């Protein structure tokens, strides 16, 4: 069913274009007759121009100002106040990302599996509550997550400022994102796959893990990559959970700042503007890579 509507939707614009072929000249005449429409068209174009000019300006400005400031000493193994190396923060970011994903992926994926494969089409009370809470979670601003992480993981569980506390906070934050994308990906798997698998004698679990999940994998992966982007860029939720020590932590219970926090520290101290530019470049490059990867995977998904 779902696939059928998707096909007709993509075919529709082509069919309409053939009917509504307007030449440039007649468009011009129409605008001459309706100056109001012309003004609105200009406004729409201008708004789009502003949006994309702003994006381009931000990226180019940061790159142009930042790239010349990238120096080898910024990637020194040890951080000190002279080189303000960002390498420890990069490593912290990697650790933070991995730990958060290890917690959030199983939870998010299993929730999605429960919602799609087990709860059935009927909207029971519990499914409604799960949807409501994930919607709530996705709307909570990161500073509230930070406060909660500080009160719960850092203080109540007595973990102190630690990578682990930060990672748990982040995993709650990215949970709705992973869950929603995984759910959409699972829903998009055609029911005929499941029926064929059952028909061949496979059980429910086997069908889910061998048939449904592999075909939903690109969608799930795109969601995970978006989640990585959020972890890399997060500051407010980590400030009072993972702390701001600029060193590579000896274990998960010690504090460590991620790259985004490192950049905030640099720019708020006011002494290291050039280094802040360079850090911004590295952050931006990460985000660009993550976004490209995610849309690449999503495109492969729509092609197949």
Partner 1 sequence: MHAVFFIAAIASIVAVFLICLFLFVNGIPAIGKIGIFDFLLGTKWAPSNNPPSFGIFPMILGSIYVTAGAIVIGVPIGILTSVFMAKYCPRRIYKVLKPATELLAGIPSVVYGFFGLVVIVPVIRSLAGGTGSSILAASILLGIMILPTIIGVSESAIRSVPESYYEGSLALGATHERTIFRVMLPAARSGIMAGIVLGIGRAIGETMAVIMVAGNQARMPAGLLKGIRTLTANIVIEMGYAADLHREALIATGVVLFIFILIINVTFSLLKRKEKN
The region of 74-82, 87-95, 186-194, 261-269 touching partner 1 under the rule CB under 8 A is 261-269
Rounded to the nearest whole angstrom, what is the least distance from the CB of residue 108 to partner 1 in the complex?
Answer: 8
Using CB under 8 A as the binding rule, whether residue 11 contacts partner 1 is answered as no
How far, CA to CA in Å, does 67 sit from each of 2, 61, 157, 161, 200? 47, 10, 42, 33, 58
Residues 168-227 that bind partner 1 (CB under 8 A): 172, 175-176, 179, 205, 226
Looking at the chain, list the stretches that DSSP marks H as alpha helix, in order from N- to C-terminal side: 2-19, 24-33, 35-66, 87-113, 125-139, 142-149, 163-188, 191-199, 204-206, 213-233, 236-239, 259-269, 273-303
Per the CB < 8 A criterion, the answer to whether 165 and 226 are in contact is no
The region of 73-81, 212-220, 248-256, 262-270 touching partner 1 under the rule CB under 8 A is 262-270
Cα-atom radius of gyration of the chain, to the nearest Å?
A: 24
Using CB under 8 A as the binding rule, whether residue 287 contacts partner 1 is answered as yes
Rounded to the nearest whole angstrom, what is the least distance from the CB of residue 254 to partner 1 in the complex?
Answer: 18
Tell me how far apart the alpha carbons of residues 3 and 190 are, in angstroms, rounded to a whole number.
8
Compute the Cα dihedral for 109, 112, 117, 119 and give only its sign. positive
- Closer residue to partner 1, CB minimum distance, 52 or 77: 52
Per the CB < 8 A criterion, the answer to whether 73 and 83 are in contact is yes
Using CB under 8 A as the binding rule, whether residue 12 contacts partner 1 is answered as yes
- Closer residue to partner 1, CB minimum distance, 25 or 36: 36
Q: CB atoms < 10 A from the CB of 6, how many?
A: 12
Tell me how far apart the alpha carbons of residues 184 and 24 are, in angstroms, rounded to a whole number.
41
Using CB under 8 A as the binding rule, whether residue 288 contacts partner 1 is answered as yes
Tell me how far apart the alpha carbons of residues 79 and 74 are, in angstroms, rounded to a whole number.
9
Tell me how far apart the alpha carbons of residues 210 and 189 are, in angstroms, rounded to a whole number.
13
Tell me how far apart the alpha carbons of residues 293 and 300 are, in angstroms, rounded to a whole number.
11
> x/- contact string, 36-75, with partner 1 (CB under 8 A)?
xxx-xx-xxxxxx-xxx-xx--xx-xx--x----------
Q: Which of 114, 202, 254, 274 binds partner 1 (CB under 8 A)?
A: 114
- Closer residue to partner 1, CB minimum distance, 62 or 74: 62
Rounded to the nearest whole angstrom, what is the least distance from the CB of residue 263 to partner 1 in the complex?
Answer: 5
- Closer residue to partner 1, CB minimum distance, 44 or 98: 44
Residues 134-153 that bind partner 1 (CB under 8 A): 134-137, 139-148, 150-152
Q: Which of 218, 229, 249, 256 binds partner 1 (CB under 8 A)?
A: 229
The region of 76-84, 91-99, 185-193, 230-238 touching partner 1 under the rule CB under 8 A is 230-238
Using CB under 8 A as the binding rule, whether residue 10 contacts partner 1 is answered as no
- Closer residue to partner 1, CB minimum distance, 61 or 77: 61
The region of 71-79, 80-88, 194-202, 272-280 touching partner 1 under the rule CB under 8 A is 272-280
């Amino acid at each position: 069913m779902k696939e059928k509507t998707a096909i007709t939707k993509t075919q529709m614009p082509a069919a309409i274009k053939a009917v509504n072929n307007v030449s440039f000249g007649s468009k011009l005449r129409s605008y001459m007759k309706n100056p109001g429409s012309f003004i609105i068209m200009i406004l729409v174009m201008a708004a789009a121009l502003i949006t994309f000019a702003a994006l381009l300006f931000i990226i180019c400005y940061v790159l142009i100002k930042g790239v010349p400031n990238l120096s080898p000493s910024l990637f020194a193994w040890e951080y000190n106040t002279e080189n303000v190396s960002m390498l420890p923060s990069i490593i912290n970011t990697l650790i933070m990302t991995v730990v958060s994903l290890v917690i959030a992926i199983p939870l998010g994926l299993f929730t999605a599996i429960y919602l799609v494969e087990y709860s059935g089409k009927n909207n029971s009370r519990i499914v409604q509550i799960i949807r409501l809470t994930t919607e709530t979670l996705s709307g909570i601003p990161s500073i509230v997550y930070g406060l909660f992480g500080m009160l719960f993981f850092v203080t109540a569980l007595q973990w102190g400022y630690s990578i682990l506390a930060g990672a748990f906070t982040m995993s709650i934050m990215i949970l709705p994102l992973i869950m929603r994308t995984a759910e959409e990906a699972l829903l998009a798997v055609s029911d005929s796959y499941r029926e064929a698998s059952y028909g061949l004698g496979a059980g429910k679990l086997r069908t889910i893990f061998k048939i449904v999940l592999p075909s939903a994998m690109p969608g799930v992966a795109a969601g995970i990559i978006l989640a990585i982007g959020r972890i890399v860029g997060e500051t407010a939720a980590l400030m009072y959970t993972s702390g701001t020590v600029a060193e590579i932590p000896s274990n998960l219970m010690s504090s460590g700042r991620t790259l985004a926090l490192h950049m905030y520290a640099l720019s708020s101290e006011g002494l290291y503007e050039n280094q802040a530019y360079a850090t911004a470049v590295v952050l931006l490059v990460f985000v660009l890579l993550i976004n490209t990867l995610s849309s690449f995977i999503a495109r492969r998904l729509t092609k197949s």
